[in-house]
Amino acid sequence: MTANHEMNAPTHEELVKLAHTHTERVVIALAGIEATPRADQLAAVSALVVDGARVLVVQATGWGKSLVYWAATSALRSLGRGPTLVVSPLLALMRDQVSAAERAGLTAATINSTNIDDWDRLMASVEHGKIDVLLVSPERLSNPKFAHRMGPLIAGAGLIVIDEAHCISDWGFDFRPDYQRVAHLLAESPTTPVLATTATANGRVTADVAVQLGSDTVVLRGTLARSSLRLSVVPHLGPIERFVWVDQALGHLDGSGIIYVPTVADTDRLAGFLRKLGHNVVAYSGRLEPERRLEVEDALRAHGVKAVVATSALGMGYDMPDLSFCIHVGSPDSPVAYYQQVGRAGRKLDRADAILLPAETDERLWEYFATASIPDERDIVKTLNILGNRTEPLSVPALESDTGIRRSRLEALLRIVAVEGAVERVEGGWIGTGVAYTYDHEKWESVKAARACEADLMRSYAAAKGCLMQFLQLALDDLDPAPCGRCSVCTGHAPIDGLTIDAESLVAATEYLRGEVVSLEPRKLWPSGLSSGHRGRIVGPADGRAVFFADAPAWRAAARLLALEDDKATDEVLDGMIAVLAKWRTTWNARPIAVVPMPSRRHPRLIMQMAEHIARAGKLELVDALAMSGPAPDPQAASKAKVEQLLSSMTVRNEAMVPSNGPLLLVDDTYRSGWTMTVAASLLRGAGASSVMPLVVQQLP
């Protein structure tokens, strides 16, 4: 494959024939002896092999986009060209692509966070021409050492492939700043053929990606409608009703599928509920270890489980041709994201069900995600000023401490600014480069507006205001949107006839979900650089408990109470706290001897009533030991800023007699970062308490 053909360069006609021959060969290898290439597959491979072009392919899931780059790689390698570099966003997607490449007769390998020990060997194999295809993630390219080592490979690549190319665009539903580094790499390889593929790009994203690839980009775009998908909406279900509906639906749906939920907590909660009722299901999220994620993916692919309850982490690129259903418990924030997820189903089936159960919490989640990835100009200025005044790299924790910006927002900000070259990640942390950064107000306001528009479309979809497939086509700027005649709106039929939700099932589901154990893990270390002198290991709270986490479906009324101004504690909340204590006491080393209410600016009456109720029920002393003054810390502030303010505003009352002969139960309404509870417990320990046990109503994410 590495022979030099320059002495007898093939003619245009020979290159066209070569492109077609390799495309036909790969189609047969991947799809069977009867399969023939699509016209646009031939056109894409020919443009890459014959013209060395830059090509953007926007086609529906299952159309065969990966076949294009395997066929082009096969043809280019036969001409003695360098290996293909595939930039791919997900580990699951890389594994599937390696397998597909090998079926196409190519030698493929991936470099990722799970095989670090193999990197040297794999890179040597690439350099010696033993590997045809190397798959890497965009995040790997942001690592300075790795990017430097990849330089010669990129320069000598025969083809560069950008999979899930909508991630390049600010307008894409899953925009990733690290992906934009790929566009910079392309500028360094102006003569290398480039293929970008996606199934989820509307007209604006398509145009943006094409511009980033180059002015002469060949765009091949087809219809994104999927005839195998039967789209349905089941509206007006409450939070417990949705859980019961899924339980009953699994008994009617054939095959295996994915149940999408919005949060990690929901994966564990719903999967546990369904397993309790006898369903063979597992939870899946980005928090799973890579090995466990692979196990779950393989089990679903082999129909070893009925369903996987997953966040969007199980989405792009997961390859299971006979996945027969996708149920969404809650709506994604855009129809493009929804199309991407339901596109996993029915790739090689005549029918697959895609069912949406809208939730009353959808709008709040949409609002959060619409702005979460957009950087604040003031935060950027603050970060660049701090980096500009330092000669040595600063770690993210150090930057968090110096800027007061929460770590998750700070990390997102750094990735965005790094793409523009104003900061750079080096060994030991981040440095400022001196390159000027201009905040593009117009662009970010336009991104917000675009996301708001997508949310409006999703709102209409969830309300079933028209043909569901046509809604998705319109959102994707499809070339020929039309009513599908198959969805629940077009037919007037529910996805599963005769499914009813009875009162007995609702009661049983509520009881199960209210038995969920929510543990509060204490903070271990103080933030660095506190002016108070606190540092190192924290002597503060022990493990704690919450009645419920976030928007737990069995506790929606209690969550609404906590969202209001100060009010009377309800029987539901009081009984819930006593139930948590009854279950928790089986693990106590010692029984609490007193109850301490947390001082609160927002819910002092509520918290005092809860503390008094627990004290009466347990025949415990009530000790109102803590006082609070001044404004509350900014919930978006970094840990150091929060702790500084809490340490200056919270005190132990001078007259308080803090018991020292047993644990104290410290009662509060909510728990998010844990710092308020940590500072309060530290003060109580300093006043003589032997142990402090936190108990709250709601743990927030």
pLDDT of residue 121: 87
Mean pLDDT, to the nearest integer, of 141-156?
74
* C-alpha separations of 348 from 31, 352, 626 in Å: 11, 9, 64
Residue 647 and residue 554 share a domain: yes
pLDDT of residue 62: 80
Residue 49 and residue 74 share a domain: yes
Q: Is residue 556 part of a domain?
A: yes
φ, ψ of residue 32 to 5 degrees: the values are 110, 165
Tens-place pLDDT, residues 7-32:
578 899 999 999 999 999 999 998 88
What is the pLDDT confidence band of residue 4, given thresholds at 50, 70 and 90? Answer: very low
CATH code at position 60: 3.40.50.300
Q: How many domains does the chain have?
A: 4
pLDDT of residue 7: 52
Mean pLDDT, to the nearest integer, of 216-236?
90
Q: Say which residue, 123 or 253, is predicted with more confidence.
A: 253
Q: Is residue 178 part of a domain?
A: yes
The rounded distance, in Å, linking the Cα atoms of 37 and 40 is 8
Tens-place pLDDT, residues 480-492:
888 999 999 999 9
Check if the beta carbon of residue 50 is closer than 8 Å to that of residue 215: no
* C-alpha separations of 19 from 24, 48, 78, 190, 469 in Å: 9, 9, 10, 21, 35
Q: Is residue 187 part of a domain?
A: yes
Q: Say which residue, 423 or 452, is predicted with more confidence.
A: 423
Residue 690 and residue 618 share a domain: yes
Tens-place pLDDT, residues 227-275:
889 999 999 999 999 999 999 999 999 999 999 999 898 999 999 999 9
Tell me if residue 682 falls in helix, strand or coil: helix
pLDDT of residue 489: 95
The rounded distance, in Å, linking the Cα atoms of 264 and 283 is 9
- Strand 257-260 vs strand 325-329: parallel, antiparallel, or unpaired? parallel
Residue carrying the six token digits 């509870």: 677
pLDDT, mean over the chain: 89
| Residues pairing with 696 in the sheet | 546, 668
Residue 464 and residue 421 share a domain: no
Residue 209 and residue 86 share a domain: yes
The rounded distance, in Å, linking the Cα atoms of 121 and 99 is 19
For residue 220, pLDDT beyond 60: yes
The rounded distance, in Å, linking the Cα atoms of 483 and 84 is 40
φ, ψ of residue 137 to 5 degrees: the values are -95, 155
The structure tokens listed for 478 are 């499809």
Residue 548 and residue 484 share a domain: no
The rounded distance, in Å, linking the Cα atoms of 95 and 258 is 19
pLDDT of residue 408: 83
Residue 540 and residue 486 share a domain: no
Residue 358 and residue 422 share a domain: no
Calculate the CA 119 to chain-centre distance.
Answer: 26
| Residues pairing with 197 in the sheet | 57
For residue 347, pLDDT beyond 60: yes
Which of 470, 491, 511 is a domain's end point? 511
Mean pLDDT, to the nearest integer, of 30-37?
89
Tell me if residue 48 falls in helix, strand or coil: helix
Mean pLDDT, to the nearest integer, of 578-594?
94
* C-alpha separations of 372 from 223, 227, 442, 670 in Å: 31, 35, 17, 22
Tens-place pLDDT, residues 38-95:
999 999 999 999 999 999 999 988 888 999 999 999 999 999 999 999 988 766 667 7
Tell me if residue 394 falls in helix, strand or coil: strand
φ, ψ of residue 233 to 5 degrees: the values are -125, 130
Residue 407 and residue 336 share a domain: no
Q: Is residue 138 part of a domain?
A: yes
For residue 339, pLDDT beyond 80: yes
End-to-end, the C-alpha distance of the chain in Å comes to 53
For residue 140, pLDDT beyond 80: no
As separate numbers, helices (DSSP H) first and strands (DSSP E) second, the chain gives 26, 23
The helix (H) or strand (E) run that includes residue 260 is strand 257-260
Check if the beta carbon of residue 250 is closer than 8 Å to that of residue 307: yes
Helices (H), ranges, 105-238: 119-127, 138-141, 144-156, 180-188, 203-213
For 643-662, give the DSSP string: HHHHHHHEEE-TT-----SS
Q: How many CB atoms lie within 10 A of CB 112?
A: 19
Mean pLDDT, to the nearest integer, of 126-135?
88
The structure tokens listed for 285 are 């999220």
The rounded distance, in Å, linking the Cα atoms of 699 and 438 is 38
Closest CA to 339 of 245, 479, 477: 477
Tens-place pLDDT, residues 443-455:
888 888 888 888 8
For residue 1, pLDDT beyond 50: no
Contacts of residue 655, defined as CB under 8 A and 6 or more positions apart, other chains included, come to: none
Q: Is residue 444 part of a domain?
A: no
Q: Is residue 636 part of a domain?
A: yes
pLDDT of residue 653: 94
* C-alpha separations of 553 from 244, 380, 549, 668 in Å: 11, 38, 10, 21
Which of 182, 202, 221 is a domain's end point? 221
For residue 130, pLDDT beyond 80: yes
Contacts of residue 99, defined as CB under 8 A and 6 or more positions apart, other chains included, come to: none
Residue 572 and residue 482 share a domain: no
Mean pLDDT, to the nearest integer, of 493-521?
90
What is the amino acid identity at position 81? R
Which of 188, 203, 221 is a domain's end point? 221
Tens-place pLDDT, residues 150-194:
777 878 889 999 988 888 887 776 777 777 777 667 767 788 899
The structure tokens listed for 151 are 């330089």
The structure tokens listed for 26 are 């790969």
Print the domain residue range for 421.
376-438
pLDDT of residue 173: 67
CATH code at position 616: 3.40.50.2020
Q: Say which residue, 25 or 224, is predicted with more confidence.
A: 25
CATH code at position 409: 1.10.10.10
* C-alpha separations of 65 from 28, 58, 213, 373, 557 in Å: 15, 8, 17, 29, 48
What secondary structure letter does DSSP report for 317?
Answer: T
pLDDT of residue 478: 86
Tell me if residue 549 falls in helix, strand or coil: strand
Q: For a pLDDT cut of 90, what percent of the chain falls above it? A: 53
Q: Is residue 296 part of a domain?
A: yes
Check if the beta carbon of residue 423 is closer than 8 Å to that of residue 433: yes
Mean pLDDT, to the nearest integer, of 125-129?
84
The structure tokens listed for 171 are 């307008």
The structure tokens listed for 523 are 């903070």
pLDDT of residue 3: 44
Check if the beta carbon of residue 5 is closer than 8 Å to that of residue 77: no
Check if the beta carbon of residue 71 is closer than 8 Å to that of residue 94: no
pTM comes to 0.84
Closest CA to 515 of 584, 461, 600, 574: 584
The rounded distance, in Å, linking the Cα atoms of 80 and 74 is 10
The rounded distance, in Å, linking the Cα atoms of 512 and 275 is 12
Residue 429 and residue 386 share a domain: yes
Contacts of residue 84, defined as CB under 8 A and 6 or more positions apart, other chains included, come to: 69, 72, 73, 76, 77, 132, 133, 134, 157, 158, 159, 160, 161
* C-alpha separations of 5 from 70, 79, 80, 81 in Å: 21, 7, 7, 9
| Residues pairing with 307 in the sheet | 257, 281
Residue 474 and residue 401 share a domain: no
pLDDT of residue 2: 45
Mean pLDDT, to the nearest integer, of 322-337?
91
Of 49-53, 287-291, 632-636, give the lowest mean pLDDT range: 632-636
Q: Is residue 45 part of a domain?
A: yes
Calculate the CA 138 to chain-centre distance.
Answer: 16
